[in-house]
Amino acid sequence: MPDVNFILDFQKNKDYPYLEEINEGIVKQIPPAKGSATILDVGAGRGLLGAALAQLGYEVFALESNVFIAEEAKKRVHQVICADLHEVATVRDVLQGKKFNYLVFSDVLEHVYDPLQILRDYQEFLQQDGKILISLPNVANWLNRLRLVFGLFNYEMTGVMDRTHIRFFTFGSAKKMVKASGCNIEKVDCTPFLVRAFLPIIKSLLGRHKSGNTNSIIASPYYQFYCKFLYPIEYWIRLNHHLN
């Protein structure tokens, strides 16, 4: 049987596979803007996080490679740069020397082959007293540790074991990467992973909305109940234990 070769162009697929929600762990670390202040959201998706940051008074620039999703982000932020984050020269040309108060990498660096180099490269877009905020999934969470006991290391459609994740981090390896990039760590926070561990299962059970929007779970009453009543309890428990 002859080989069958497939050439796929993901950009032609308007269906965005990522479960996108506002990363409250990032938002709560950024104070309201004083005067003219700017943020570069790297890997911005639909711009939901960018919109939340804009509400704090910031001029938000978003970097997103998916052309269809970038169009959605344009409705929510000041400017969208439609380019892959590896295309640093393109980003540089668009920004024309502009520097930012904050760079945000919200669950992005696990999707690239050399996240350390990305961190080093993007520091040129940071103001002298600027800050970088990074959110990374912790592969050493309790569920993955339990799975490894039974020899399981399976990819999923979403979550920590997302099939598009290239790099995996523990709390320790994430700190080493940040320090190797030349940055000093000022503060560390966490996102609890108790109920959220079952998000891939919940997403599968609920299925997709008829519109085909993979993020319909975010608007569901179940998720709203979780955010209002369960998340605060999870977060309190997590703060009272050491980070893994």
Mean pLDDT by 10 residues, the chain (244 residues): 48 55 88 95 95 97 96 96 97 97 96 96 97 91 85 81 86 95 91 62 55 57 68 64 51
7 falls within a domain: no
| Structure tokens, 171 | 């709390």
28 falls within a domain: no
- Whether residue 174 sits in one domain with residue 142: yes
* CA 11/CA 203 separation, integer angstroms: 24
Question: Domain of 162?
Answer: 35-188
184 falls within a domain: yes
CB neighbourhood size of 172 (10 A): 12
Please spell the DSSP secondary structure of 45-69, one letter per residue. Answer: TTSHHHHHHHTTT-EEEEEE--HHH
- Whether residue 222 sits in one domain with residue 154: no
- Whether residue 93 sits in one domain with residue 158: yes
Specify the pTM.
Answer: 0.76
- Whether residue 52 sits in one domain with residue 93: yes
Boundary of a domain, candidates 188, 208, 224: 188
29 falls within a domain: no
